[in-house]
Amino acid sequence: WDNSVTLWDIAARQEIAILRGHTSTLHGVTFAPDGKLLASCSQDVTTLIWDLDLHQKNATLLGHTKSVLCVAFSPDSRTLATGSDDASVRLWHVQRRGESDILRGHTGLVAQAKFSPDGRTLATASFDHTVKIWEITTQREITTFEGHTRPVFSVAFSPEPRILASGSDGWGNEAPTEIKIWDLDSQREIATLAG
């Protein structure tokens, strides 16, 4: 456990660089869509942004009070969303390092955050058994999807983006592991996939 990020050349099957800066377990990494930056988040309560040309730290983002569990870049690479064990989501302005907007509403840790393909909304999955949809420009909560009976670990937008999928875990067979499909226009559940 060296708390580092390793970059690999897939074609050559060789290590390109090792990025060191975190002091505890990493929970997530994500590339910016423009390919210039990489973000990593950790139990050490930090999110680090890395310059991929220089292979060095570009910025340290501080603000969460507990482990940072997920990171996601917006499609235009200008905004970075982070979710935390402190039940909050932060929207970081990548060019204005250190500045963020806070999205509050979940009552459990935020396990995953995903931007819609058009970058207008953000979906967040939480251990409070809910999925929330946020409007990026206003930082307003659009809706909360309820229906999972266990912690929600993951969310994914369809390409168009009118459909959202969310996945929960049935820990110890107490409840079924399931995926729920949501219609974002009507804000209703379309289907539950179990198995």
Q: Give residue-wise pLDDT tens across range 26-46.
A: 999 999 999 999 999 999 999
Q: Give residue-wise pLDDT tens across range 59-102.
A: 999 999 999 999 999 999 999 999 999 999 999 999 887 789 99
| Residue from 156, 109, 103 nearest 129 by CA | 109
What does pTM read for this prediction?
0.93
Q: Give residue-wise pLDDT tens across range 138-158.
A: 999 999 999 998 999 999 999
Q: Give residue-wise pLDDT tens across range 8-24.
A: 999 999 999 999 999 99
Residue 46 CB-density burial (10 A; 0-12 exposed, 13-18 middle, 19+ buried)? buried
Per DSSP, the residues of 112-136 read EEEE-TTSSEEEEEETTSEEEEEET
